Structures are given as C-alpha cells and as structure tokens.
Amino acid sequence: MAEHIHITRRDDLGIATIMASRDGNHAALATALGAGALPPSSAWVEGADSLLIGIAPAAWLAVTADAAPTWAHTLAGRLTGHAAVSDQSGAYVVFRLEGPGARTILQRGASIDLDPKAFAAGSAATTVIAHIGVIIWQIGDAPAYDVAVFRSFEASFRHWLAISAAAL
C-alpha cells in the first residue's frame, strides 16, 4: 500500500542566521526576538515574527513567512549588541513534506531517528540526506516537516526526493 506524501516548495520565506555575541545575554536576545527562551540546537520555538531553529550552540536560523526585502536588516537592527544577523533568504530552498509518507521518505535518507518518541513536534536537526546538508524541523504532531537545503543543491535534493517518493 503506497504512503501518500505532498511536497511543496516554500518560496515565501525570509531566512536569516543569528549568531549570539560572545558576551551576549541570551535572555535579552530571546526577549528581543519575542521568544520565551532560545531553543537548543535540536529544537525550534516561535518568536514574535519568526520561527527560531537551533542549528548550533549560540546560533539559530530565523524563518518568517512573507518577509519584506528588508526583513533581515530590520532584524539585525533589533539585535544590535546581542547578535550578528546574516540574510540567508537567497541561500536556502525550503521544502514542506506532509502526509503519512513524509516520515518514511525522510527516514530513507536522513541519518537521524525520526521516530515520534525521538523527533516530535518542536524538534529540529542539522543532518545529511544523500550527501546533501539539510536542516529538518517537524511542524505539528502530524507527519509534516520543513527541510532547508542550500539552493545550489536543490536539483540534487529534488532528484533524491523523486526517486524516494516513487518507491513509496
């Protein structure tokens, strides 16, 4: 029995990396971002105007829908003294994978445990799929994931997705 999956490319996103200052106050940074606390490198939280994904110690990926061209610049202004901000909107392509087959298809390529007990809503990971660096985060309890891939690897990732999805 085939497992259904719906794959869409999310073209409406603004993306920026945030790297905390060495002497930065993480509580003040969280407040400036409108988050109760900053997520560790294996989770994400909602901020005031963006999703904050932990990608490394003291580093986050901020993702927002329908971003104005100046969004990252405005974010950098808000975080002056707390963090460095770099616009990554042109660097990444994000795919949303939804449906019963979403987890199955990602498990075929990712070298992380995507079992709901280990990787549930609010989880995030930086890993490799088909020799391509990706950032995965689970949206909600239903099998739905966003996967960020460097734009230069989009064609290779799409090829892997097509082959893996066909096998479902």
Query: What pTM did the predictor assign?
Result: 0.93
Q: How far apart are CA 11 and CA 16, in angstroms?
A: 15
Cβ atoms of 35 and 26 within 8 Å: the answer is no
Rounded CA-CA distance 164/159 in Å is 9
Domain boundaries, the chain: 12-87, 91-166
CA distance 50 to 68: 13
What are the 10-residue block averages of pLDDT along the chain, 168 residues in total? Answer: 81 95 86 92 92 95 93 94 95 95 93 92 95 95 93 97 87
* Cα radius of gyration (the chain): 16
pLDDT at 137: 97
CATH of domain 12-87: 3.30.70
Residue 2 confidence (pLDDT): 53
> Which CATH number is 91-166's, of 3.40.50.1390, 2.60.40.3140, 3.30.1360.120, 3.40.225.10?
3.30.1360.120
The answer to whether 121 and 139 have CB atoms below 8 angstroms apart is: yes
SS (H, E, C) the chain: CCCCCEEEEECCEEEEEEEECCCCCHHHHHHHHCCCCCCCCCEEEECCCCEEEEEECCEEEEEEECCCCCHHHHHHHHCCCCEEEEECCCCEEEEEEECCCHHHHHHCCECCCCCCCCCCCCEEEEEEECCEEEEEEECCCCCEEEEEEEHHHHHHHHHHHHHHHHCC
